[in-house]
Amino acid sequence: MIHYTCDSCKREIDLEGLRYSVKIEVNATLDPIAEDEADDDRDHLLEVQEILEQLETSDGVGDDVHLEARYDLCPDCCRKFRLNPLGRESIKQFDFSKN
């Protein structure tokens, strides 16, 4: 029998109730080099070839470059996730007068 467990609170999710699936994809990004900073002596095709060779010899792209993950959430944890998807603690900031 199939059963689902909330990946956040670890409670079993009722099969007849709502279950939420959260998919997260993380990719490394590089900003392009400004033209005035570019090194004209670089062989870009050689650099691409070296990167491709490294990928062939390794087990694939590492988690530091690309990561995909999927999580099942119960309705309560999904509501909390939607309010705070990055998990930041809310810090109440006070506006004090400048006396």
Q: What is the pLDDT of residues 41-60, one digit of tens each?
A: 778 888 888 877 777 666 65
Residue 62, domain member (yes or no)? yes
What range does the domain containing 66 cover?
Answer: 4-30+42-83
pLDDT digit string, tens, across residues 76-95: 999 999 999 988 876 666 66
β-strand 66-73 against 20-27: which pairing, if any? antiparallel
Q: Counting beta carbons within 10 angstroms of the beta carbon of residue 85, is it exposed (0 to 12), middle (13 to 18) or buried (19 or more)?
A: exposed
Total domain count, the chain: 1
Residue 95, domain member (yes or no)? no
Q: Assess whether pLDDT exceeds 70 at residue 12.
A: yes
81 is written with which tokens? Answer: 């996730």
Residue 55, domain member (yes or no)? yes
Residue 56, domain member (yes or no)? yes
The pLDDT, as a whole number, for residue 11 is: 95
Residue 96, domain member (yes or no)? no
Residue 68, domain member (yes or no)? yes
